[in-house]
């Protein structure tokens, strides 16, 4: 058995010879031998990580590791009687919450390959030992002769050796919007998958007809299997937010360890601490102050809030970090069929009575009227138009069905478009078939390029025929004009062919209609001397709302690219209608893309607006090229062929209605309305969410920096004075970091987006969160908070307060400083008085809740002991509030000066 990769080039006899097979099929013995040699016909499965391994992987974050260390140290100290067990409990709960959520997300995403495996047919009709039999699809081998019938799903890749009116739906694999007519004839040259008309591929479905084919590839060697392989190899991209947080976690961790170890070491060596254990306890307190324990949870909650907002805009988020990634998307690579277009063949133009009628989109919701591009038109008063629509509806095997209030086509979508067009004119198929029941038919064949049905009418038997314009026209000697039959002249033939050519150049699929009154006696040639009626041009039209969405993308400095498996002429027509393809853009075919090296593609990829006739490998190649150029790339799609690119892209967007389960599982986001416009709304949400994440990160880190500076300053003062007073205990810091700050940070996540957010260019993902203005804000505010806390510490000491009172006053002062700082963080540039105090009621609610929780710690005796608190009097409240409000006043003055300087 010889091997070849271009089976479509071989004649049937040569194919069977190369496979070592014959039309009667393999023998059972030979099939068993090949099964052992090549293995079963199933998709290879990469060894998957167990749930336990996936769960453990969630603990690799540097910040999570620091929290685990802090919890462990606190636990050890608690068992020694030197610490508080609540420290360990609170930190452990926060770590588990963040890690379990990450585990759930990752575990679900790994189901994509499982669903892909389940899509292969379980059994197959095959000819072995000269007899037809049913065998499990996994037992198919190279050289097997498979028998295919309407409704079957191809179980393997195979070369057709015999066909009868065979058409396949290859949309899940190639993106082709209409069923593909198949042939057993050899094809010369090297052509893409979508043009191999003598091949069938695993996972595609037979729409009509029957055929026999010789298996040429099984399992992972099939086109379907290659997609599964790419889906395994595609690496999930780290989001810009994840990169920024990981970087921040490393900085915090290294800084914490260095500062804590340094301070504890110096303190012990200078005699401040009586033992290494005392120094260690101080170091742990400093670490707790430095690490924002609430950060993992607040980020998760913030992204979840964003996901809920997006769900209301028809966008379901499967992977939470994708919410933020949308905000810096620079390229959207979109499939055409069903995403940019309606996914439904629609009659666009009609040709009758030597005139072209240009229709607006006739969708799948009949309303009993036409909507014409020029003037209102009544089809009931046009005999020629009625004859055309009647022929298209009767010579038709599709049905228009109303299911649960929605209209659906059962059968071929091209034929369905004809039924819909007639229904829009009030000519319902069911009524027409009642008036003219079908008596006989001559099925479509690739040789005749037509289909004919014979009907019984009140006027006698009539044959209706539809097919390729040339084939129909060649069988006609008369033409139907103005309700009458006339001789068909050569000039009229030329005009009709010209109209057909013009429709084809507009990327319309053109069918022609004819009829013939038949005598009562049997007529052996119903397709001869027919009467030409007209032409019908159909297309899968663009969604109307997509045009506006593309304008918004352009305004937001986001480039949109069409990547489709459909023919270039069709794709170009749709792209031009949508405004995606202009004179300054480039259109490439899959074959042209194959000839480009990675370096050549990198040079031009930013200028390409359309890729046509592409394979899944091409889609991956384009996404990778854009990523090499530093772009954050979103990929939309709905088919199996889109799944690898969806997973490779920075954010994969699948279609919820028409999308396959494979594409949904591989994607980060699913559009519940299959509407490209929903992506734009999601981008807006993504940009706003990142801005809010930046706000609460600034809030958390500036507060933690203030606490660190205060503890270091207090350490210096204690060293100089010799009064060994621990200014804050770890449980107080945990309460601030987790409860008080956590509530305020979540409230900042609810901040409304800036009104001009979609007029700004996408954020540079390399820039990260910590821009120079942000770092300046964190440093300046942190320094002020540290100074105010030191002032309170010195005042309390000078007032002769006890250690517990000093710790409590510093604790409440830090809470007040952070509360007032929350107002500062609502905007990096604008004053609170400009954005309004009540525009985010969540902040006011969070402050009230935090004050209430703090009051419980101060005035409930059971809580006073663990948290080192007491009931503050009015003088104490006045002092801590005065210290707290200063941070708000100072930042407001700085914003005022900054705005004046810019103006």
**pLDDT value, residue 120:** 41
Whether 660 and 641 have beta carbons less than 8 Å apart is answered as: no
Give residue 362's pLDDT. 46
Nearest to 116 by CA among 235, 5, 237, 219: 219
| CA-angle at 203, arms to 15 and 468, nearest 5° | 75
Catalytic-labelled residue, pool 152, 169, 335, 674: 335
Percent of the chain with pLDDT over 70: 81
Give 291-338 as a DSSP string.
S-TTHHHHHHHHHHHHHHHHHHTTEEESSTTHHHHGGG--EEEE-III
CA–CA gap between residue 272 and residue 270 (Å, rounded): 6
- Structure tokens, 183: 């042939």
Please give the pLDDT value at position 903.
58
Counts of helices then strands in the chain (DSSP H, E): 33, 26
| pLDDT given at position 280 | 65
Which one, of 113, 172, 127, lies nearest residue 30 by Cα?
127
Q: Which residue has the higher pLDDT, 331 or 208?
A: 331
CA–CA gap between residue 285 and residue 890 (Å, rounded): 28
> Longest Cα pair distance anywhere in the chain, in angstroms?
122
Q: Give mean pLDDT, residues 128-150.
A: 91
Q: How confident is the model at residue 240 (pLDDT cuts 50, 70, 90)?
A: low
Has residue 142 got a pLDDT over 80? yes
Q: Which residue has the higher pLDDT, 791 or 268?
A: 791
Residue 302: CB partners within 8 Å, gap ≥ 6?
689, 692, 693, 696, 745, 746, 749
Q: What is the pLDDT of residue 475?
A: 95
The pLDDT score that the predictor gives to residue 243 is 63
pLDDT bucket at 119, cuts 50 / 70 / 90: very low
At 273 the pLDDT is 60
Looking at residues 162-175, what average pLDDT do you find? Answer: 80
Which of residues 513 and 694 earns the better pLDDT score?
513
Provide the pLDDT for residue 235: 54
Mean pLDDT of the 715-733 span: 77
pLDDT surpasses 80 at 369: no
Give the 3-state secondary structure percentages of the chain, helix then strand then coil, rounded to 5: 55, 20, 30
Average pLDDT over residues 490-503: 94
Which pLDDT belongs to residue 860?
94
* 137 against 288, higher pLDDT: 137
Q: Lowest-confidence range among 46-60, 425-439, 768-782?
A: 46-60
pLDDT at 48 over 80: no
Residue 256: the pLDDT is 67
Per-residue tokens: 326: 């949308």
- Residue 237 tokens read as 């991209």
Whether 392 has a pLDDT exceeding 80, the answer reads: yes
Integer Cα distance of 632 and 668 in angstroms: 14
Give the tens place of pLDDT for each residue, 551-561. Answer: 888 888 999 99
Q: Side-chain half-sphere of 546: how many Cα atoms within 13 Å? A: 27
Mean residue pLDDT of the chain comes to 82
Query: How far is it, in rounded angstroms, from Cα 788 to Cα 885?
Result: 10
Which range has the top average pLDDT, 78-87, 232-241, 351-360, 732-741? 351-360
> Residue 116 — very low, low, confident or very high, per pLDDT cuts 50/70/90?
very low
Average pLDDT of span 126-142: 91
Give the closest residue to 450 by CA, choosing from 519, 543, 494, 516: 516
Does residue 420 have a pLDDT over 60?
Answer: yes
Answer whether 0.85 is exceeded by the pTM.
Answer: no
Percent of the chain with pLDDT over 90: 36
Residue 532 contacts residue 514 (beta carbons within 8 Å) = yes
In contact, 858 and 872? CB cutoff 8 Å: yes
Q: Which of 14-23, 87-96, 735-744 has the highest mean pLDDT?
A: 14-23
When mean pLDDT is compared over 54-58, 381-385, 528-532, 866-870, the highest value belongs to 528-532
Residue 705 has pLDDT above 70, yes or no: yes
335: annotated active-site residue: yes
> How far is Cα 664 from Cα 315, in angstroms, rounded to an integer?
12
pLDDT at residue 170, rounded to an integer: 83
Amino acid 542: pLDDT:
87
Bridge partner list, 611: 563, 588
Structure tokens at 63: 């910040």
Summarised one tens digit per residue, pLDDT across range 661-678 is: 667 777 888 888 777 778
Q: How far is CA 481 from CA 391, 517, 628, 644, 738, in A?
A: 15, 16, 60, 53, 82
**CA distances, 203 to each of 164, 230, 327, 338, 637 (Å):** 20, 16, 36, 19, 17
Asked if residue 60 has pLDDT above 60, the reply is yes
Residue 343 — very low, low, confident or very high, per pLDDT cuts 50/70/90? Answer: confident
CA distances from 635 to 397, 580, 647, 684 (A): 36, 16, 9, 17
pLDDT at 267: 66
Query: Is the confidence at residue 682, as pLDDT, over 90?
Result: no
Res 128 pLDDT > 60:
yes
pLDDT-based confidence at 375, cuts 50/70/90? very low
Contacts (Cβ under 8 Å, ≥6 apart) of 864: 857, 858, 870
Q: Are the CB atoms for 214 and 242 separated by under 8 Å?
A: no
Confidence at 49, pLDDT banded by 50, 70, 90: low
CB of 67 closer than 8 Å to CB of 91: yes
Q: Quick check: 453 pLDDT over 90? A: yes
β partners of residue 799? none
Task: Give the highest mean pLDDT range of 3-7, 62-66, 379-383.
Answer: 379-383
C-alpha neighbours within 13 Å on the C-beta side of residue 280: 12
Say what the pLDDT of residue 374 is.
35
CA angle, 244 then 250 then 254, to 5°: 150
Q: If pLDDT is split at 50, 70 and 90, which confidence band does 177 have?
A: low
């Amino acid at each position: 058995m010889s091997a070849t990769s271009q089976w479509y080039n071989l004649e049937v006899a040569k194919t069977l010879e190369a496979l070592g097979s014959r039309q009667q099929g393999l023998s059972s013995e030979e099939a068993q031998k090949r099964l052992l040699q090549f293995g079963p016909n199933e998709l290879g499965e990469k060894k998957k990580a167990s749930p336990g391994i996936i769960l453990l992987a969630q603990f690799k974050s540097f910040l999570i590791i620091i929290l685990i260390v802090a919890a462990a140290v606190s636990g050890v100290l608690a068992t020694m009687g030197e610490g508080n067990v609540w420290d360990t409990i609170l930190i452990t709960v926060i770590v588990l919450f963040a890690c379990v959520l990450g585990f759930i997300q990752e575990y679900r995403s790994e189901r994509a390959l499982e669903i892909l495996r389940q899509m292969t047919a379980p059994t197959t009709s095959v000819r072995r030992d000269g007899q037809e039999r049913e065998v499990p699809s996994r037992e198919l081998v190279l050289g097997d002769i498979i028998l295919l019938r309407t409704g079957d799903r191809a179980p393997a890749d195979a070369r057709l050796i015999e066909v009868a009116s065979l058409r396949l739906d290859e949309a899940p694999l190639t993106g082709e919007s209409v069923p593909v007519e198949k042939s057993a004839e050899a094809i010369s040259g090297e052509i893409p998958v979508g043009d191999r008309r003598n091949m069938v591929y695993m996972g595609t479905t037979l729409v009509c007809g029957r055929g026999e084919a010789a298996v040429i590839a099984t399992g992972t060697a099939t086109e379907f299997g290659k997609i599964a392989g790419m889906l395994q190899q595609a690496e999930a991209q780290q989001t810009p937010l994840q990169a920024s947080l990981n970087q921040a976690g490393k900085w915090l961790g290294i800084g914490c360890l260095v500062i804590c170890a340094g301070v504890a070491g110096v303190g012990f060596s200078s005699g401040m601490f009586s033992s290494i254990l005392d120094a260690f306890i101080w170091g742990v307190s400093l670490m707790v102050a430095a690490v924002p324990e609430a950060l993992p949870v607040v980020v998760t909650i913030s992204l979840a809030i964003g996901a809920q907002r997006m769900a209301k805009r028809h966008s379901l988020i499967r992977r939470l970090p994708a919410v933020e990634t949308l905000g810096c998307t620079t390229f959207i690579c979109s499939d055409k069929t069903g995403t940019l277009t309606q996914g439904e063949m629609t009659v666009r133009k009609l040709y009758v009575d030597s005139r072209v009628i240009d229709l607006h989109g006739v969708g799948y919701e009949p309303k009993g009227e036409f909507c014409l591009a020029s003037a209102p038109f009544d089809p009931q008063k046009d005999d020629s138009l009625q004859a055309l629509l009647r022929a298209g509806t009767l010579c038709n095997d599709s049905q228009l069905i109303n299911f649960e209030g929605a209209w659906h086509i059962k059968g071929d979508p091209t034929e369905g478009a004809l039924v819909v067009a007639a229904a829009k004119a009030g000519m319902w198929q069911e009524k027409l078939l009642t008036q003219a029941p079908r008596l006989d038919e001559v099925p479509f064949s690739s040789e005749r390029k037509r289909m004919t049905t014979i009907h019984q009418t009140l006027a006698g038997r009539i044959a209706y025929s539809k097919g390729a314009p040339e084939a129909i026209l060649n069988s006609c000697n008369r033409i139907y004009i103005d309700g009458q039959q006339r001789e068909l002249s050569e000039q009229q033939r030329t005009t009709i062919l010209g109209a057909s050519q013009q429709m084809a150049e507009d990327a319309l699929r053109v069918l022609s209609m004819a009829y013939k009154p038949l005598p009562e006696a049997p007529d052996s040639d119903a397709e001869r001397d027919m009467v030409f009626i007209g032409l019908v041009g159909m297309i899968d039209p663009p969604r109307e709302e997509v045009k506006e969405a593309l304008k918004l993308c352009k305004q937001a400095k986001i480039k949109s690219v069409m990547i489709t498996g459909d023919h270039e002429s069709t794709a170009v027509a749709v792209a031009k209608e949508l405004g995606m393809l202009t004179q300054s853009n480039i259109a490439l075919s899959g074959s042209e893309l194959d000839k480009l090296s990675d370096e050549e593609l990198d040079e031009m990829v930013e200028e390409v607006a359309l890729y046509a006739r592409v394979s899944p490998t091409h889609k991956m190649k384009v996404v990778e090229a854009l990523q090499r150029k530093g772009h954050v790339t979103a990929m939309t799609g709905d088919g199996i062929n889109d799944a690898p690119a969806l997973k490779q892209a920075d954010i994969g967007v699948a279609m919820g209605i028409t999308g396959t389960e494979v594409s949904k599982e591989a994607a980060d986001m699913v559009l519940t309305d299959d509407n490209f416009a929903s992506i734009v709304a999601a981008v807006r949400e993504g940009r706003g969410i990142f801005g809010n994440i930046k706000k609460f990160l600034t809030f958390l880190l500036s507060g933690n920096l203030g606490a660190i500076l205060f503890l270091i300053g207090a350490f210096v003062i204690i060293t100089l004075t010799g009064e060994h007073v621990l200014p804050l205990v770890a449980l107080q810091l945990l309460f601030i970091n987790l409860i008080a700050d956590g509530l305020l940070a979540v409230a900042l996540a609810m901040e409304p987006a800036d009104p001009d957010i979609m007029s700004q260019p996408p954020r540079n993902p390399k820039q990260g969160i910590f821009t120079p203005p942000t770092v300046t804000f964190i440093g300046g505010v942190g320094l002020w908070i540290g100074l105010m806390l030191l002032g309170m510490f010195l005042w309390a000491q000078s007032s002769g307060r006890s250690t517990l009172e000093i710790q409590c006053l510093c604790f409440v002062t830090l809470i007040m400083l952070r509360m007032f700082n929350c107002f500062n963080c609502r905007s990096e540039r604008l004053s609170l008085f400009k954005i309004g105090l009540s525009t985010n009621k969540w902040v006011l609610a969070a402050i009230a809740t935090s004050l209430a929780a703090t009051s419980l710690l101060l005035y409930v005796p059971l809580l006073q002991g663990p948290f080192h608190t007491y009931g503050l009097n009015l003088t104490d409240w006045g002092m801590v509030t005065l210290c707290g409000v200063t941070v708000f006043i100072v930042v407001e003055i700085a914003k005022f000066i900054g705005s004046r300087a810019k103006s």
